[in-house]
Structure 1
Amino acid sequence: MIERSASCVCGRVQLKAVGEPILGAVCCCSDCQAGGRLIEALPNAAAIRDGFGGTPYLIYRDDRFACVAGAEALEGIKLSESAPTTRYVATCCNSGMYLKHGPGWWTSVYRARFSGDPPPVEVRNKVASLPPGVTLPGDIPSYRGFPLKLIRRLLAARLAMWMARSAPGEGARVP
């Protein structure tokens, strides 16, 4: 099974993901744009958004993702008290690491945090939220909302997680 490593810029916070991601996507929703700007405005923070304002992620099942070092340096940031999404930043170097959408069963890891050659992004979603005048390349499909491909894969991942929990000793859980 494939293992991928991700880390903050200084290397204190280490993440591990097992298996292929559910999907590689660039989210262009207004919350991801605002969250990206907020994180990138922190002192010495590395970029997490692409040149068009979207945020590239690799999306993993929760049981295939773990922080394996430096968890004490992670701080959750919400855009508002009632926001369902928490973005996690490594406070040691202000690197955006990942986000959790509660009550989701997946973790969206900022693609920029992966070392080596991470899987490519497959889609751009919520492009209707981009500012007027942004012209996207035609390199991957772009969707005004969330594509059916993403919804199907998230549901399939949920089913696979449920089935892995039902069968003792099965699955690829990250230790």
Structure 2
Amino acid sequence: MGETTEITCTCGRTRLELRGHPIDSVECCCTSCREAADRMQRLDRASQTLTDHGTTPFVICRKDRVRFLSGTDGLKTFRLSPEHATKRAIATCCNTPIYLEFKGGHWLSLYGGLWPEGTMPAPTMRTMASDLPEGAVLPDDIPNAKKQSLGFFARLFAAWVAMGFRNPKTPVTGEIDV
């Protein structure tokens, strides 16, 4: 658990430190993640968020193991619509997606683009492949689960137990319209 990793937004202003190992590294195929990534990619100066096969890469970490070192004053969140509980945070200094946060979740899904090329933990699976448009083809290099697996939920629950059932707050200073 002594291992730390520092990741940053594209311009380096927003910096995070991660302690220990992530819960998992995945590529999400769900409609919401693909729509949000498409919208974020259209922001001025934004980098590509979707992979070449239309998935959104995430590294899932316990909230208590993520420390924001700088740039929290520029974090803004958005929801796909007012009815959506899921928030996505963007570093507005360079429009880099930082994390996805499920309401009540004890983890953060950190966007894969925060890691320098070749350093992001390799994904172990793709989730929600059933949401992909008809005819979409995914590589078979890792499992392409139609939904989230029982093992995935077990890892999330084990992390919550290890956290003493706590749910730390995230530092966000406002909202952005994406």
- TM-score w.r.t. length of structure 1: 0.90
Match of 1:140 in 2: 142
The answer as to whether partners of 1:24 and 1:120 remain within 8 angstroms in 2 is yes
Q: Which runs of 5+ in 1 are unaligned?
A: 166-175
Match of 2:84 in 1: 83
Report the Cα offset of residue 99 of structure 1: 1.0
Q: Aligned with 2:35: secondary structure?
A: helix
Aligned amino acid, residue 114 of structure 2? R
Match of 1:92 in 2: 93
Q: Percent identity?
A: 35
1:83-110 CA-to-partner distances (Å, cap 9, x unmatched) read: 1211111111111111111111000001
Q: Does 1:48 align with 2:49?
A: yes
Report the Cα offset of residue 118 of structure 1: 2.1
Aligned residues: 164
1:26-78 CA-to-partner distances (Å, cap 9, x unmatched) read: 11111100110111010110111111111110000110012210000111011
Match of 1:149 in 2: 151
Quote the Cα distance in structure 2 between the aligned partners of 1:152 and 1:113.
26
Which runs of structure 1 show a deviation greater than 3 angstroms over 4 or more consecutive aligned residues? Answer: none
Q: Which runs of 5+ in 2 are unaligned?
A: 167-178
Residue from 110, 119, 126 that aligns with 2:128: 126
Quote the Cα distance in structure 1 between the aligned partners of 2:49 and 2:159.
25
Q: Aligned with 2:89: secondary structure?
A: strand
Quote the Cα distance in structure 1 between the aligned partners of 2:98 and 2:49.
9
Quote the Cα distance in structure 2 between the aligned partners of 1:111 and 1:18.
17
